[in-house]
DNA sequence: CTGAAAGCGCTTACAG
DNA sequence: CTGAAAGCGCTTACAG
């Protein structure tokens, strides 16, 4: 009998309806991941490490792409919540999202990834770039630079503010000038890096080195420099927060700060699981690393 | 009364349970997208264009990442089917997947993206690189090259075979030598490009130009060349099927073929919708474009 | 150990 | 037009 039933299952191609199942059962064995921009390799890699970690724990993950748009982000959170995900991993696009705030309060356990979000009652897991940025400033100073510029992130993004603050403080500490007119805000997207670089190069007194606050904007800065046939480290040095795989392939290679992406993704899943189990979990930070190459005048040093 | 109910909805933060709804209703307003490798910018962009197109049609999309692993791919197809997606967009990792075959037959409408899959009864939408590859071979010939090598894709992937066939045929047509010992198979991932490039460079008689069958393997080839301090176009030229945003930033810039990714994503959604409506849809191909830069000896021409 | 019933949270068709 | 009932496909607690 049992055999005949199984044969029929095979024969008819019966597939259990997971939707009906999760209506009756408590959990869905599914978590949601809302990233701010899938075209950014950082988040593509994050998505991958989250998926890998989740798979090992027999959890499914649904990925949503907010495209740095808070409206899109809220839309995805809404959809995922309606689909009864057990928990949510979100890279918040901006600090203020009423939905995120609400959701964190009652719907589902949430872990914030990469960026903090004020007023949202959820633990954060992110890279801590402060030390690496301080290392970078010390490095630039030791190369003999005096005046630098920055392509900063959006004011409302936690990461953006944090990297700017760290750069300002450590620049001041080592005696490097980071004047207000040399700080231009971007949106974390490639195009804004191009525009910002154009602005900096057009300044009456351009900075000696430009520091881009994320990889996408760094790419934009590089593209704008090439377009103008402006090279580095002369007349302008370049360094980037985020290390793209091709930075070392350029000539000269780009000095950059890398984040422990894979580790952050794994940690995020782990933290979410602990919250699902009812534990309280605190914020987690992981250090970044400075990769010194040749885009800031390293080889010209001491000439 | 109505007002009071709505107030309570607001107050309690009521959110309709989409799972319960879709149990009763016919559709889920959700489609699945299974890509073969999210770390490949081609598929990241594909995912984005699919999401954009779906959003406009009020469809949700769940993204799954197979990581070029047929097991993973089947697992995702299974999950998505169990979750009652209305239809599936899949970039098949290999030609033979019983699940894909079965699913196409009875479960849900499927559209194959980027790669054909033999024995699967589903329409394909993909770029047609044949003309662009022919253009490339003509170009290489006109540059005076005689003997080229290729980093091909996996034998089982439709795209891999197709690009190799196109290269072989058009090379023969223009009188370019593409000997068997200069064809090495990769897996479409970066590491396999490195290994393949190493193999080709170590040949007693290395090819004058290497053609990589996708962007990831092209990246690997470039990395291996840099590691060995081997430059291009001398001693070896380089060209790639897929155009990564930073190919033009290298010095010399990489000659490459670009695919109309965004258009393919939009078309895929559109085709799936038509299948959902019960229409028959045929295969769709869109042409690629050759971008001539300087990695194959363009500037040395005629010296 | 086996089998029938109740219920998850919705929508829809039907009766009042 | 309003309100109660049936049913989507499962799982689980309960009766036989």
Could B250 and A250 be called an inter-chain contact, meaning their C-beta atoms sit closer than 8 Å?
Answer: yes
What pLDDT was estimated at residue B13?
A: 79
Q: For residue B266, give the nearest of B89, B67, B115, B68 by alpha carbon.
A: B89
Residue B131 neighbours by CB distance under 10 Å: 15
Distance from CA of A18 to the nearest CA of B (A): 5
- Residues above pLDDT 70, as percent of chain B: 98
Give the residue on A whose Cα is nearest the Cα of B103.
Answer: A13
Q: How confident is the model at residue A300 (pLDDT cuts 50, 70, 90)?
A: low
Q: Is the CB of A21 under 7 A from strand D?
A: yes
Task: Tell me whether strands A148-152 and A183-185 are parallel, antiparallel or unpaired.
Answer: parallel
Least confident of A7-16, A40-49, B64-73, B144-153: A7-16
Q: Backbone phi, then psi, for B240, in 5-degree steps?
A: -135, 140
Asked which of A121-135, A213-227, A247-261, B99-113 is least confident by mean pLDDT, the reply is: B99-113
The whole-angstrom separation of Cα B67 and Cα B90 is 13
Under an 8 A CB cutoff, do A82 and B15 touch?
A: yes
Q: Which of B7-16, B247-256, B273-282 has the lowest mean pLDDT?
A: B7-16
pLDDT tens-digit readout, B191-203: 999 999 999 999 9
Angle formed by the axes of helices B41-56 and A41-56, nearest 10°: 90
Structure tokens at A77: 């959170």
- B52-68 pLDDT, tens digit each: 999 899 888 888 888 88
**Structural tokens at position A94:** 């901006």
Provide mean pLDDT across the span A186-192: 94
Q: What is the dihedral of CA A254, A255, A260, A261, to 10 degrees?
A: -30
With beta carbons under 8 A apart, name residues in chain A contacting B246.
219, 222, 244, 246, 249-250
Sheet holding A284-287, edge to edge: A284-287, A124-128, A110-113, A87-90, A30-35, A60-65, B60-65, B30-35, B87-90, B110-113, B124-128, B284-287
Q: Which residue of A has its CA nearest to B227?
A: A249
pLDDT at B303: 44
Q: How confident is the model at residue A83 (pLDDT cuts 50, 70, 90)?
A: confident
Q: What is the pLDDT of residue A133?
A: 98
Sign, CA torsion A222/A224/A228/A233: negative
- For the segment B238-257, the average pLDDT, to the nearest whole number, is 96
- The whole-number average pLDDT for the span A4-15 is 80
Nearby residues of B281 by Cβ (< 8 Å), 6 or more positions away: B111, B123, B271, B274, B275
The pLDDT score that the predictor gives to residue B78 is: 87
Per-residue pLDDT at A245: 93
pTM over 0.85: yes
Mean pLDDT, residues A107-123:
88
Q: How far apart are CA A119 and CA A96, in angstroms?
A: 8
Select from A27, A22, A45, A20 the least CA-distant residue to A87: A27
Strand D atom within 7 Å of B203 CB: no
| Position B302 pLDDT exceeds 90 | no
Average pLDDT for residues A53-69, to the nearest whole number?
88
Higher pLDDT, B27 or A222: A222
How many whole angstroms separate alpha carbon B77 and alpha carbon A219?
A: 35
């Amino acid at each position: 009998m049992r055999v005949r039933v199984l044969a029929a299952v095979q024969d008819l191609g019966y597939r259990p309806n997971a939707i009906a199942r999760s209506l009756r059962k408590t959990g869905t064995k599914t978590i949601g991941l809302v990233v701010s921009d899938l075209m950014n390799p950082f988040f593509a890699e994050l998505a991958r490490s989250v998926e890998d970690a989740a798979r090992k724990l027999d959890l499914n993950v649904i990925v949503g792409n907010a495209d740095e748009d808070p409206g899109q982000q809220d839309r995805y959170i809404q959809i995922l919540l309606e689909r009864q995900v057990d928990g949510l991993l979100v890279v918040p696009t901006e600090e203020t999202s009423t939905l995120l705030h609400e959701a964190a309060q009652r719907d589902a356990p949430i872990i914030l990834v990469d960026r903090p979000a004020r007023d949202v009652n959820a633990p954060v897991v992110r890279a801590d770039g402060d030390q690496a940025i301080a290392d970078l400033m010390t490095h630039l100073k030791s190369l003999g630079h005096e005046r630098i510029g920055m392509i900063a992130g959006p004011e409302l993004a936690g990461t953006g503010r944090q990297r700017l603050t760290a750069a300002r403080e450590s620049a001041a500490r080592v005696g490097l000038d980071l004047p207000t007119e040399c700080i231009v805000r971007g949106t974390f997207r490639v195009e804004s890096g191009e525009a910002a670089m154009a602005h900096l190069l057009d300044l009456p007194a351009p900075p000696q080195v430009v520091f881009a606050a994320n990889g996408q904007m760094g790419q934009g800065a590089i593209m704008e420099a090439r377009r103008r046939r402006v090279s580095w480290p002369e007349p302008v040095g370049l360094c980037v927060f985020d290390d793209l795989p091709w930075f070392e392939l350029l000539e000269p290679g780009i000095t950059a700060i890398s984040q422990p992406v894979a580790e952050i993704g794994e940690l995020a899943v782990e933290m979410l699981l602990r919250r699902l189990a009812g534990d309280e979990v605190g914020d987690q930070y992981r250090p970044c690393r400075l990769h010194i190459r040749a885009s800031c005048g390293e080889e010209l040093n001491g000439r």
